[in-house]
Chains A and B, each alone.
Chain A
Amino acid sequence: MRLYHINKIIGIWAIGFIFVTGLVGCDGAIESQYQEQVVVEGFIYPGGGIDSVILHYTTPFTLSYDDSTYAITDADVRVSDGANEYVLLPRTARGRYYLPASTLRIQSGKTYSLTVRVKDHVVSAHTTVPAQIKYLNLDSTLPKNLVLLLDTVNPSSFSYQLIAGPVDVPTRRYMLEVSAQDTNYGKVATNLFGPPVDTSAYVRYSFIQTGPVITLYSRLFGWYGPNNLTFLALDSNWVDYKRQVGYGERAQIHYQSSLNHVTGGIGVWASAARDVVQVFLKPKP
């Protein structure tokens, strides 16, 4: 066959092939269906009972989330410490379950397993409680009267280094929670970039730290007035949960199964040791 004809044939074949492959390329999307899941959220601390395990279902995207609509009220919720199993009691607030300290007092070093059964769902999770911690330097770092003055013109001058201990394991992670106790004293007008944002949140968290030294800086305060400074020594479930939910008022990443340690559902069952001190924040005159 003459080369001229070979080229023609190849040309025609190629055009046809492009057309066919173009059609092949129009493949369909992989649609994802909504699947109802049980969400568990529970945090425990040594020395206390189980204040609240919150249970609710996931919400289909495009529908409004409403705490009472999706709350799970008919679940069988149990906690085991290895030796005994306890049934949690429903609170009046929908979807909340608790166990008083008189029934079960959480102890450092122990592993607590949570099991939830509702409809066809069986959800379980485990946490090992960190060793109790205490503030080590409050006397030397904070004013004696625990009143902190914030210079709004030069907020970077506001700095207190808080230390807690002891360190039970080298891989332990720490976090400071600052929660306003009375919002009648007004908001602290700060924002990372640009003008101050209007926020209704009354709790702020520091970044997770690799050691028990955390700097208290002005942005951790959302409100003037009395604020609790809670130093937390976190278990790994809490650390991964924090990596999931982030620090702002909105989610920074979507749900990641690799950060979820709740089998058969999603959420968190975590523990932390903690120490709390209350300070009073005032704007510097």
Chain B
Amino acid sequence: MKMFRHLLAFVLLLGCSFAAQNPARASVVRATDSLDAVISGYIKDSLSGETIIGATVRVRSLKRGAVTNKSGYYVLHLPSETELLLEVNSLGYRSEFHKIRLSSGEKLTLDFNLATESIQGGEITVETDKEKEEREAPQVSRVEIKPSQIASLPKAGESDIFRILQLIPGVQTISEISAGLYVRGGSPDQNLILLDGSVLYNPSHFFGFFSTFNSDAIKDVELIKGGYPAEYGGRLSAVLNVTDKDGDLYKTNGKITLGLISSRGTIETPIGDGALTLSGRRTYIDLILSGIGLQQSLDLPNYHFYDLNGKFTQTLGPYDKIAVSAYGGSDNLNFENGKAASSVEMDWGNQSGNASWTHLFSNELFMKLNLNTSHYFSVLNFGLGTNSFNFNNQIYDYTMHSDFEYSLGNQNNFKTGIQLSSYHFQLKITQGNNPPNSNIDLKPLYYAVYLSDEWKPDEKWAISPGLRVDGITTRPELGIDPRITIRYILSPDITLKASYGIYHQYLKLASNPLFSASDIWLPVDPTQAASVADQYVIGVSTAPWDGFTFDVETYYKNFTNLVELKPNVLGGSSLNDIFFLGNGFSYGIEFFLQKRVGNWTGWLGYTLAYTRRKFPDIDKGAVYPPTYDRRNDLNLVVTYKVNDRWTLGSTFVYATGQAYSQTTALYNAVEPDYSGKLIPIDGSMNGLRLEPYNRLDVSATYSCSFFSEKRNAELNFDIYNVYNHRNVWFRRIDTSVDPAVSEDIRLLPILPTFGFQIKF
């Protein structure tokens, strides 16, 4: 019944937007009715030819504008027979101005090439216009990160977009050595992580320390923390959309970055009417340790990870573009101890491929067809003599999704699409020569269809209703997800936004947050239904001073059918064997003060949040906070461009301590012929907090020339944890001493690192 009411409301709303579009049915004749001409095209970087996501085209006198989509494409409806001044800009680019005059019914294709420009104080007016466009965009809770922002901030040995995302209000982490993103009370498995449209199932390396994304290969990172539109589905909390570089269309260039623990390289070259980009990254701790003999003498494991990214794009005339991209990354760990006859062999990672075809049926109708494949694998072989434990988890995901975008006047922008995903889940856990503990082999089909509209009845209002219907063949029910976002421009400097949506998730993750190498994804089955979330978001975006934006958002999320991994689970054949089922909720408020232009840039973010879970089988059904519940989370990020050579960066983090369960008692667990061992008994689930988390990192980047006349190289100096505050990772109980004591396991001390980057 609830679903039906949502559906009815959506249909009525969508009907309203259609009715408003039709002049014959609309009760008010609008000025927009005279918009009988249209311009459309791509906005690109003039140096590389790379399309620019989120660039704006506007006619200031008409207060009309359009923003490029993820393919860099825009559509703008304009009046005819009038001379208009077009203004094109994007953050970090010099603005362009073009005078045009369109005839009645004209449909003009107009591409723009923007030149890059260093963001200095003098350009504030233009940049704040771009920010104004972003502030007034209908989407709530959206954050965009550019690779240049990643480069100038401190990094613990390796540039990582997840480290930057963890500094955004509403995004929390469980520890500094975890790349997991906990967005507004959601766990990492509730995030849809896309690389060029392909889903990545385990986006981390080094047991969760680093993300899988090579920052040199990235063009754009978009995080939608909540209230995401109907084109996305299958996850409860957030969407992280990472787009790889298309490559340089005009000249061959490259970049090599040498770091303490890894190095990476990227090369871009034009091919035909397109480009090819290749990137690679590898850690070499194993090679160093082996080279100096430490690996052998200290019996250390052999470990490394690598990534490879490739993308090939071609423009096939004015209406068609194709892109083929691939990613492969893997972690490998090997350890053999001959004396103890034990060995461990682990191999886990992702492979993905994407082929996309972008086609313009007309200036107003844009289509993108994607064929994606994604493969996640995690293999663990543990040997004790001839006895063995084997864990083999594989997911194959073959997805087709096509998206259509139709611009109907400047009032409506419709999006519709379908998605079909064929999954193959394999989980086999065996010990010795006995029947497997788990032997799951499922091939479900996920299907989804969506329709949404961005309806702008006037300059102030934007209403974006959407509906997504999806399901999976392992369960009979359909997920009907109505979503709506409303924006109202209260004044030129103040925009109000609100959003509501229902979200279904059909895949469940069994994972240890401290050890991400053996994640197990399984689809819902007859024993457990899909997880569902209701999300409510209300926010205000303001520009209190020139160059500054200040956003406040508050949210409430209600979760049903969440899962928690059963303790020391030995395997199973259904979700009920592996997971407890429960519910939860989270709410909070986020403050985000940003300065994105000038010599001083950065942000100050503060989040006040509450997250709770309730599982009948955990803590006798009491409501409890999960370990990642953070009451206060404060992040300060500052970058200062001293001059053309030096850039300084700093990040400061303060957060409420991690929730943990206080041990109140012990008991002596006896086994036959065994005197026993002390087992800690905890009180209220996660009832206490570790000490607050805080850390300051600083960095300095020096631009210089390296066998070249131009500045083609950069030296990075970073100090991680400047004041050497050893934060607590977790608290353990040491029963080897009498009486037993609690002991804090602490995180990394002060850690200076450096790196060198050269461009050619």
Contact = CB atoms under 8 A, between A and B. Distances in A.
Contacts of A14: 550, 552, 591
A173 B668 CA distance: 24
Contacts of B643: none
Given A31-B687, A213-B434, A215-B432, A251 B337 contact: no
B342 A34 contact: no
A210 B434 contact: yes
Interface string A205-226: 1111111111101110000000
Most chain-B CB neighbours within 10 Å: which of A33, A67, A210? A210
A239 B568 CA distance: 11
Interface stretch (A37-45, A99-107, A118-126): A37-45
B385 A253 contact: no
A190 B566 CA distance: 31
A137 interface: no
A263 B560 CA distance: 29
B677 interface: yes
A190 B385 CA distance: 12
Contacts, number: 253
B550 A11 contact: yes
B492 A258 contact: no
Contacts of B566: 258
Contact of B385 (A158, A208, A246): A158
Instruction: Kindly state the interface size class of chain B when it binds its partner.
Output: 35 or more
Interface string A21-46: 11011110111111101010101000
Contact of A158 (B341, B436, B665): B341
Contact of A245 (B431, B677, B736): B677
A215 B385 contact: yes
A267 interface: yes
B431 A64 contact: no
B544 A10 contact: yes
Contacts of A256: 567-568
B685 to A, nearest CB: 9
B662 interface: yes
A211 B589 contact: no
Contacts of B679: 244-245, 251, 254-255
A74 to B, nearest CB: 19
B386 interface: yes
A206 B388 CA distance: 11
A58 B680 contact: no
Contacts of A31: 662, 683, 687-688
Contact of A7 (B385, B434, B494, B671): B494
A70 B736 CA distance: 19
B61 interface: no
Most chain-A CB neighbours within 10 Å: which of B299, B667, B670? B667
A62 B670 CA distance: 20
A31 B631 CA distance: 17
Contacts of A205: 671
Interface in B377-411: 383-387, 389
Interface stretch (A128-136, A191-199, A277-285): A191-199
Interface in A2-25: 3, 6-7, 10-11, 14, 17-18, 21-22, 24-25
Nearest to A11: B544
Interface residues of A, number: 90
Contact of B669 (A41, A43, A191): A41
Contacts of A203: 671, 673-674
B5 interface: no
Nearest to A15: B591
A32 B341 contact: no
Contacts of B422: none
A177 interface: yes
Given A24-B608, A193-B342, A211-B435, A58 B666 contact: yes
A217 B383 CA distance: 10
A60 B665 contact: yes
9 contacts: A56-B667, A65-B666, A193-B340, A207-B387, A210-B436, A210-B437, A243-B570, A254-B661, A256-B567
In the complex, the 5 A-B pairs of residues with the closest C-beta atoms, listed nearest first? A32-B683, A217-B385, A211-B434, A30-B687, A159-B386
Interface of B: 299, 335, 337-342, 383-387, 389, 431-437, 490-494, 540, 542-544, 550, 552, 566-571, 580, 589, 591, 606, 608, 617-620, 631-632, 656, 661-674, 677-684, 687-689, 733, 735-736, 738-741
Interface of A: 3, 6-7, 10-11, 14, 17-18, 21-22, 24-27, 29-35, 37, 39, 41, 43, 54, 56, 58-65, 67, 70, 152, 154-156, 158-159, 161, 174, 177, 179, 190-194, 196, 201-203, 205-215, 217-219, 239, 241, 243-246, 249-259, 266-268
Given A63-B739, A218-B385, 17 more contacts: A31-B662, A32-B664, A32-B688, A62-B741, A152-B339, A154-B341, A191-B340, A193-B299, A217-B386, A219-B384, A250-B677, A250-B678, A251-B669, A257-B617, A258-B580, A267-B667, A268-B669
